[in-house]
Amino acid sequence: MLYRKYRQKKVGADGIYFALILCYKIMFQGQQPFSANPVFRFSTGRSAFLFFSVGNTVTLTRYLDQLISRKSMLYYFRIALLFLLPAFCSCLSPRPAGNMGPAQAPFLWENANIYFLLTDRFFNGDRTNDTQFGRTAQAAKLRGFMGGDIKGITKKIKEGYFDRLGITAIWFTPVLEQVHGPVEEGTGLTYGFHGYWTRDWTRLDPNFGTEKDLANLVETAHRHGIRIVLDVVINHTGPVTDKDPQWPDAWVRTTPTCAYTGYNSTVTCTLVKNLPDIKTESSAAAELPAALLEKWKKEGRLQRELAELDAFFQRTGYPRAPRFYIIKWLTDYVRQYGVDGFRCDTAKHIEETVWAELRKEADAAFNGWKKTHPDKVLDGNGFYMVGEVYGYGISAGRRYNFGDRKVDYFSQGFNSLINFEFKSDAHYTLETLFSRYARLLRDSLPGSSVLNYISSHDDGGPYDKKRSSPIDAGTKLLLCPGAAQVYYGDETSRSLVVPGAQGDATLRSFMNWDELAGDSARNGVRVRAVLEHWQKLGRFRKAHPAVGAGAHTMLSEAPYVFKRVYQAGGFADQVVVGLGLPKGEKNISVAGVFADGTVLRDYYSGQIRTVGGGQVAISSDFDIVLLAK
């Protein structure tokens, strides 16, 4: 929030020196005067404008008043602080408060903090695109378009919402053009607001935004060190409606409906009635649908699309089979915009070899984008793919069991699979949960990982569905080994029980920005208190790869203290975490992890302490300690 008293103050040279002092004290003296870091912006000319984006305005006000009252300080520091200009410039970059982790800490997908959101339900950044293609029929509750779009995501990135939450990647629901008409699913009239009913893989749906919007989103995210994961669908087209014809028989099947009794009855079938299944097993050439060709012609891009397809099939030698058209169309977004990964929808309903084919082309596209945009490359990580193999759990290891066949999806292009088991495992005690996951990842999934979640868009049995223990939920998710998926609103106790909404619609309400602004309470816990907890844990995870990817060892059962240690490629990271500690004075043993004299930060309270006698003394009102360099 912006504090009005200092929101726009003409401060001239004194203000610049004042800002330098504040930055100096935060960076080099370890002081943390407020919960969110300051954002400084200066204009050229005779005056400078100083802005603060803060989380705790009361503390900030007192801090500013104290500094301003000591005007003599400005005089004595003026000359000395000129030498701090390079350091001050580093303050201008978006960086979460309290993140004093090693600058060289590598980004690891195994430790990722991935924010998953429904594009239509997160934030409305452009109200002019809210109604498209005559989508005006009255939909059932939470089953129509509600205005969220790509610009809305970008706006929140720019505001620093994801930085403060420690998010390292954003996965949003598909934004390709959806069927134009509504569908009766038995739960009321529904539009394709969720993005999983594709009509045209080569165009974005204007309800979500334009290709320019997508390009801006990716570029903005990358400037903040955030990766972008596109949600992609190969398994099916959208339903048939009065406005949306069925794709040709060479492309889709409409029967049988999946019985889920084995591999074939899960793969070679339609998920539900009126959801045509792409014939991904076919290698026979298929002509492009006449309706699609006519559409491209009306949009003035027919020849360009055909030329690009000719070039693709000539380069790859693939047959013009349905799956290869879609693979080409999807990897175009990687080649053009540099998206960092795919979340692959309905992964177990497609022959696993198709995912390997997609990965091959995605790798080529990603490497090509990096080669042509060397100044925009974030790091040396390759393309990322995470699969939705519905029902997969970490205890299965590498192979998902269909009953009559076991399939290793990790060998077919996937870095990770969504872990549907975590929501149940989260009921374990902390040590049982953490040690079990560390062991399974080490022994069963070396070189791979899982994506844990407590709630999602189509899981009717989430952990803590009533949001009665959001602090505990955040602790378990964000401190557990493996990657973390934060479903939009987990961090703000967004309700998952909406009266009048049927089926998965109740999981898909609009982001509760109004409750956050008003600091509403749910089940006796203030929304901002929940958010602050998730922010601290998220920033801790982001700064320290050991949290999600390190070896786990319990140091003390009561009080509960553990360490995580990560070491690879010449980089080493260690953390010590205490949970359920007494509030007030507490001594944490770090012997064998951090040597005496080591300066550590408690990422939860913001305190800086030096190890002495194998211990760190912390005095705070919290029962959590997050210690690291």
Active site residues: 345, 388
The torsion angles phi and psi of 9, rounded to 5 degrees, stand at -120, 125
CA 589 – CA 616 distance, rounded (Å):
7
CA distances from 557 to 429, 560, 561, 579 (A): 11, 5, 7, 10
DSSP 8-state class, residue 206? T
CA distances from 301 to 48, 262, 328 (A): 49, 43, 16
Residue ranges of alpha helices (H) inside 497-565 are 513-518, 527-543, 546-549
**Cis geometry, peptide bond prior to residue 289 (ω within 30 degrees of 0):** no
* Cβ-contact 423, 392 below 8 angstroms: no
**Both tokens assigned to 581:** 């500690």
3-state helix/strand/coil string of 326-366: HHHHHHHHHHHHCCCEEEECCHHHCCHHHHHHHHHHHHHHH
DSSP 8-state class, residue 612? B
* Cβ-contact 33, 6 below 8 angstroms: no
CA 170 – CA 155 distance, rounded (Å):
13
Residue ranges of alpha helices (H) inside 185-245 are 211-223
* Cβ-contact 172, 153 below 8 angstroms: yes
CA 500 – CA 502 distance, rounded (Å):
6
Beta strands across the sheet bearing 599-602: 551-556, 560-568, 571-579, 624-628, 599-602, 608-610
**Both tokens assigned to 545:** 């790869």
